[in-house]
Amino acid sequence: MSDKPETPPAGAPGADGGTQPRPTVPPLQISAQYIKDLSFENPHAAQILTQRSIQPQITVNVDVRTTPLGGNTYEVVLHLRGDAKSGDLQAFLIELDYGGIVTIGPEVPKQQAALLLSIEAPRMLFPYARAVVSEATREGGFPPLYVQPIDFVALFQRQVQALRERIQAGEGEVGTVPLN
């Protein structure tokens, strides 16, 4: 016999007749993160790196793609593309697909799940993807490319608007949420 009182299992009646609180499942869990694809091209390295007087013009594009894996589990991939040109020469081109395996809690409604997958999950993956891009450009001989923080709410809203326009043009399905 032990001197410690037994703790009833979660959801079972307690000593006071009430119930113990049930452990809650977080609405979003990231169980894995990984580099799915990474490409760094430095086609004119010798010319660009010897002529540092011209500041490269850099364009960064971001996209979020979501793929169902079964049940409440999804693959969320943050696609970053950085294109730098120095005059007429391509300074560098970097493309990164940074993924995460994301599980949505079973109690989360479908529309809220779409928001978690399109906004919250990429927001959580972004700092790691940003570090990969920064390190790759630095290793390529350039100053690190620090991708500015991204407004994933605005990105999601643009995706929804694009879907609405496709629906109006007869190219989309009514009621779908753009997760790809």
CATH number for the domain including 126? 3.10.420.10
* Mean pLDDT value across residues 82-98: 92
Residue 7 has pLDDT above 60, yes or no: no
CA angle 160, 161, 166 (to 5 degrees): 95
- Is 59 a domain residue? yes
Q: Which residue, among 119, 146, 118, 47, has the nearest Cα to 88 in the 3D structure?
A: 47
Residue 14 has pLDDT above 60, yes or no: no
Tell me, what's the pLDDT at 16? Answer: 54
Which stretches of 31-168 are DSSP H helices? 45-50, 110-115, 121-139, 152-168
Tell me, what's the pLDDT at 6? Answer: 53
* Mean pLDDT value across residues 102-115: 91
Domain total in the chain: 1
**pTM, two decimal places:** 0.76
- Is 135 a domain residue? yes
pLDDT-above-70 percentage for the chain:
79
User: Where are any strands of DSSP class E within the chain?
Assistant: 28-41, 57-70, 73-86, 89-104
Range of lowest pLDDT (63-72, 125-134, 165-174): 165-174
Tell me, what's the pLDDT at 26? Answer: 76
- Is 18 a domain residue? no
Q: Domain residues for 94?
A: 28-145
pLDDT-above-90 percentage for the chain:
54
Measure the CA–CA gap between 33 and 77, rounded to whole angstroms. 10
- Is 173 a domain residue? no
Residue 38 has pLDDT above 70, yes or no: yes
* Mean pLDDT value across residues 7-28: 60
- Is 150 a domain residue? no
**What is the tens place of the pLDDT at every residue in 150-161?**
999 998 898 888
Residue 11 has pLDDT above 70, yes or no: no
- Is 180 a domain residue? no
Range of lowest pLDDT (4-8, 26-30, 61-65, 165-169): 4-8
